[in-house]
Amino acid sequence: MDARISPAESQAVASQMDYFRSRLGAHQTLEWLRRKKEGGRKVIGLMSWGVPAEIVLASGGVPVRLSGIWQDPGESRCKLPRDVCPLAASCFSEAEPLVREGLLAAVVLPGTCDWKRKLPDMLSASKILTLESPSSGSLTFIDADLKRFAREVSLITDLPVVTKNLRRASEKMARAREAYKALQLLRQRRKCALSGVDALVVEQTFLRDDLSRWTEHCSRLVRALEEKLSSRDDKPAGRLRPRILLIGSPVTWKQGNPVHLIEEAGGNVVCEDFHSHLSLLYPVEAFPAGAGAGDASLASRWTRASFYSLTAEADESFLFHAIDDFGGEGVIGHVYRTCARVQMSLPGVLRRTRDRGIPSLILETQGDPNEADRLRARIEPFVEMLLSRRRNGA
Amino acid sequence: MSIVVGVDVGSTNAKLVLMEDSRTLAAEVRPTGANCRGAASALLAAALQSSRRERSEIGCVVSTGYGRRLVDFADDIVSEILANARGALWLHKGDRRIQTVIDVGGQDSKVISVDRFGRVSDFAMNDKCAAGTGRFLEVACRILEIDLDTLGELSLQSRKRVEISSVCAVFAETEIVSLVSHGENIEDIAAGLHRSIAHRVAGLVATVGLQEAVFFDGGPALNRGLIKAFEEELGVSLLVPTAPQIVKAIGAALVASDSLSKKRPRPKTEAGPV
């Protein structure tokens, strides 16, 4: 079976994907940030997808995402404690060249995960800004924390965060999120529109280039995919592939990660929730308007970004909505051995998906490319089983 | 070209089965060692020799197991889960329908749930720890200075309950050393080891749900002490084939037989009792 579902046959789609793939390399990010720094802009690294980048944009800063999964964690293993989380190692690999070149004016370390609190010691970085782990039970605290964060960012960029700028920045981010949301909605269609690998590439390039440019390319990709899907001669290569949702700890390393392996085995990852993507589709309504530096969406997104903010029931609710909307035929939960939180919560969530008649599989990894064979031994029969269920109308 | 071959290259042993028209012509087992390709080739040569057949008579080869991609003479590959379920259902000719298959291998253990049509409906595999696998027993035998083949019989002579509580093979090694130094009998320690594996595998069984009849295979299923521990832990009697280590190789050969049938105008292979 063809391992790739990438819609390479569509020229328009392929040319948009070329843009996203070109943004993945560390070199391109470095070049972009060098230009920004030379232009007098302050670059601020964000160690979480959910950090309210609007505040950085509103203060004239350049937010760059350091919470990536694309850097090989192995590159920094010799500099980090032996049992450090692979995601932490990947983020470290990503941040270190920028720190070394003095490109970062500050790094934002959110308290969403324990290792993020300890990263300043490992990075010996420039200025460290912190954002406490939000909790749905402490609205006042989040509001105050985001305001404090805005003041600290302003001190670095020398531009205060005023309402007008924040509104403009929020609109810019909203356009980016809308484009990304449109892409996710396309993935809900039963006729396969995009491979999970390509979707991951798009997601990973968010805040690794000028935000307006990224948004434009994302919108163009959506349009190209819509055209491809509506064309009569389109042959949906991935149509027969079982539709799989991938959740849990964010995957790392370039080759041999579960997304690659699932699609290599004949499945299609139609939805993943590593970086709280689902919050785009199922927004948290826990916050009243006005919370969080005057913008409810900031606090809302920031809350969802935290592993600790939502109850297990809320997590399940997200997942069950996603299973229905994405036509999920199976759920794979990925967990690092070092990630106690996911280790504790995932089995229960997946047990309940089984109770709903959706097969599930847990993949425990250490983020090591050498694990690929062991993972294949689990993924391949899972995909086979889903295919068999589909053939027999399960 | 009527012969089909199933090769199961496992982490500890490689197994090969030669079949023709639902008949087993030859079955070979040897340690995988560091050279998976070499082990598979040697098995094929041995099987052809013992069955007095020629390489040119082979119509299709399907490989499975960890080293399945390294079998350069294979026409196709199949996952261990599928091969195992297929082999188990084909081997079991009794009245009781198999609904659960337990396989304890050299480096992992699996529990497979099979639906009424003989299809894999669910499965669970152990994580990457060696505890709960055949490797765990090998390590224990090295410390106890006994032969792996005698471990099962020794454990059946146990008179005292000794617990191996560690969930990690490495820590269990320390625990065994400690038990020996405290003067515990080898028989009791052996029984404790088997209970420890059974307890871990029972966790996997709980994941997919226990439904009788339960089939038990894999090399460690040759160990009578382990069978007893499983039966006590799960509260069911197990169906164990006479050659439990070649079940996946048989399953792979049956898949090869299917492929061969599709190529022919008239299928020659009878379906097993699935």
| DSSP string for residues in A141-202 | HHHHHHHHHHHHHHHHHT----HHHHHHHHHHHHHHHHHHHHHHHHHTSSS--S-HHHHHHH
A354 touches B: beta carbon within 8 Å: yes
CA dihedral B225, B226, B232, B235 (to 10 degrees): -140
Highest mean pLDDT among A86-90, A390-394, B81-85, B117-121: B81-85
Please tell me the predicted confidence (pLDDT) of residue A5: 46
**Which of A249-253, A286-290, A390-394 is predicted least confidently?**
A286-290
Residue in B108, B117, B122 closest to A359 by CB: B122
Q: How many A-B residue pairs are in contact by the CB < 8 A criterion?
A: 39
B115 → chain A, closest CA residue: A389
A361 → chain B, closest CA residue: B124
The CA distance from A249 to A244, in Å, is 16
Q: Which chain B residues are within 8 Å of A355, Cβ to Cβ? A: none
Residue ranges of chain B assigned to CATH 3.30.420.40: 1-92+246-274, 94-240
Nearest CA-CA distance, residue A364 and chain B, Å: 6
Q: Is B1-92+246-274 in CATH node 3.30.420.40?
A: yes
| pLDDT of A136 strictly over 60 | no
Please tell me the predicted confidence (pLDDT) of residue A217: 95
| pLDDT of A170 strictly over 80 | yes
The CA distance from B250 to A352, in Å, is 35
Q: Which chain B residues are within 8 Å of A382, Cβ to Cβ? A: 123
Contact B121 A385 (CB under 8 A): yes
Tokens of B71: 């079998």
**How many whole angstroms from its chain centre is CA A134?**
18
Contact B80 A381 (CB under 8 A): yes
Q: How does pLDDT run across A348-382, given as a tens digit for each residue?
A: 888 888 888 899 999 988 877 778 888 888 999 99
Please tell me the predicted confidence (pLDDT) of residue A289: 38
Nearest CA-CA distance, residue B127 and chain A, Å: 6
Q: Report the length, in residues, of chain A.
A: 394
Q: Which chain B residues are within 8 Å of A388, Cβ to Cβ? A: 119-120
| pLDDT of B267 strictly over 50 | no
**Which of A100-104, A107-111, B149-153 is predicted least confidently?**
A107-111
Stretch B206-235: mean pLDDT, rounded? Answer: 93
Contact B119 A384 (CB under 8 A): no
Which of the four pLDDT bands, split at 50, 70 and 90, describes residue B252? very high
Which one is predicted more confidently, B157 or A90? B157
- A236 Cβ neighbours under 8 A, 6+ residues apart: A191, A192
A316 touches B: beta carbon within 8 Å: no
Nearest CA-CA distance, residue A385 and chain B, Å: 6
Contact A364 B81 (CB under 8 A): no
Residue in B82, B108, B207 closest to A381 by CB: B82
**Which of A34-43, B24-33, B133-142 is predicted least confidently?**
B133-142
Q: Which chain B residues are within 8 Å of A358, Cβ to Cβ? A: none
Which of the four pLDDT bands, split at 50, 70 and 90, describes residue B14? very high
Mutation target vs A (from B128, B129, B204, B208; most A CBs, 10 A cutoff): B128
Stretch B163-175: mean pLDDT, rounded? Answer: 73
Contact A373 B66 (CB under 8 A): yes
Residues A363, A335: contact at Cβ < 8 Å? yes
Q: Strand A268-273's sheet: what is its strand order?
A: A268-273, A243-248, A330-336, A360-365
Residues A167, A294: contact at Cβ < 8 Å? no
Which of the four pLDDT bands, split at 50, 70 and 90, describes residue B270? very low
Please tell me the predicted confidence (pLDDT) of residue A185: 87
Q: Which contiguous run of DSSP H or E holds residue A105?
A: strand A104-110
Question: What is the residue type of A322?
Answer: A
**Averaged pLDDT of chain A:** 78
Q: Which contiguous run of DSSP H or E holds residue A303?
A: helix A296-305
Please tell me the predicted confidence (pLDDT) of residue A137: 54
Q: Which chain B residues are within 8 Å of A380, Cβ to Cβ? A: 79
Nearest CA-CA distance, residue A88 and chain B, Å: 21
Please tell me the predicted confidence (pLDDT) of residue A291: 37
For chain A, count helices (H), then strands (E).
15, 8
Q: What ipTM is given for this predicted complex? A: 0.77
| pLDDT of B186 strictly over 80 | yes
For chain B, give the percent of residues with pLDDT over 70: 92
Stretch B93-109: mean pLDDT, rounded? Answer: 87
Q: Which chain A residues are within 8 Å of B82, Cβ to Cβ? A: 381, 384
Residue in A366, A378, A392 closest to B125 by CB: A378
The CA distance from A209 to A176, in Å, is 12
Residue in A364, A377, A385 closest to B120 by CB: A385
| pLDDT of A279 strictly over 60 | no
Residues A307, A112: contact at Cβ < 8 Å? yes
Please tell me the predicted confidence (pLDDT) of residue B66: 86
Q: Which chain A residues are within 8 Å of B108, Cβ to Cβ? A: 377
Nearest CA-CA distance, residue B126 and chain A, Å: 10
Q: How does pLDDT run across B40-91, given as a tens digit for each residue?
A: 999 999 999 999 999 999 999 999 998 898 999 999 999 999 999 999 999 9
Please tell me the predicted confidence (pLDDT) of residue B241: 94
| pLDDT of A275 strictly over 80 | no
Please tell me the predicted confidence (pLDDT) of residue B130: 67
Residue in B123, B127, B207 closest to A381 by CB: B123
| pLDDT of B166 strictly over 80 | no
Contact B128 A382 (CB under 8 A): no
Contact A377 B120 (CB under 8 A): no
Q: Which chain A residues are within 8 Å of B66, Cβ to Cβ? A: 373, 377
**Which of A72-86, A174-188, B6-20, B249-263 is predicted least confidently?**
A72-86
Residue in B120, B125, B127 closest to A388 by CB: B120
Selection from A279, A261, A277, A276 nearest residue A195 by Cα = A261
Q: How does pLDDT run across B118-139, given as a tens digit for each residue?
A: 889 999 988 766 667 878 888 8
| pLDDT of A175 strictly over 60 | yes
Residues B217, B186: contact at Cβ < 8 Å? no
Sign of CA dihedral A171, A172, A174, A175: positive
**Which of B87-91, B136-140, B215-219, B240-244 is predicted least confidently?**
B136-140
| pLDDT of A331 strictly over 90 | yes
Phi and psi dihedrals of A65, rounded to 5? Answer: -80, 125
A371 touches B: beta carbon within 8 Å: yes
A368 touches B: beta carbon within 8 Å: no
| pLDDT of A273 strictly over 80 | no
Contact B121 A374 (CB under 8 A): no
Kindly provide the residue ranges of all beta strands, DSSP E only, lying in A237-370, ordered along the sequence.
243-248, 268-273, 330-336, 360-365
Which one is predicted more confidently, B212 or B269? B212
Kindly provide the residue ranges of all beta strands, DSSP E only, lying in chain B, ordered along the sequence.
3-9, 13-20, 23-31, 58-64, 76-77, 100-104, 109-114, 120-125, 214-217, 238-239
The CA distance from A296 to A49, in Å, is 17
Stretch A187-195: mean pLDDT, rounded? Answer: 81
Q: Which chain A residues are within 8 Å of B81, Cβ to Cβ? A: 381, 384-385
Q: What is the largest CA-CA distance in chain A?
A: 64
Phi and psi dihedrals of B117, rounded to 5? Answer: -95, 5
- C-alpha radius of gyration, chain B, whole number: 19
| pLDDT of B269 strictly over 80 | no
What's the fold here for domain B94-240? Nucleotidyltransferase; domain 5 (3.30.420)
Please tell me the predicted confidence (pLDDT) of residue A294: 47
Contact B122 A374 (CB under 8 A): no
A388 touches B: beta carbon within 8 Å: yes
**Which of A247-256, A335-344, B228-237 is predicted least confidently?**
A247-256
**Which of A219-233, A325-339, B89-103, B206-220 is predicted least confidently?**
A219-233
Nearest CA-CA distance, residue B38 and chain A, Å: 19
A384 touches B: beta carbon within 8 Å: yes
Contact B82 A384 (CB under 8 A): yes
Residue in B79, B119, B123 closest to A392 by CB: B119
The CA distance from A92 to A143, in Å, is 29
Q: Which chain B residues are within 8 Å of A371, Cβ to Cβ? A: 128
Residues A115, A84: contact at Cβ < 8 Å? yes
Selection from B60, B72, B64, B102 nearest residue A381 by Cα = B64
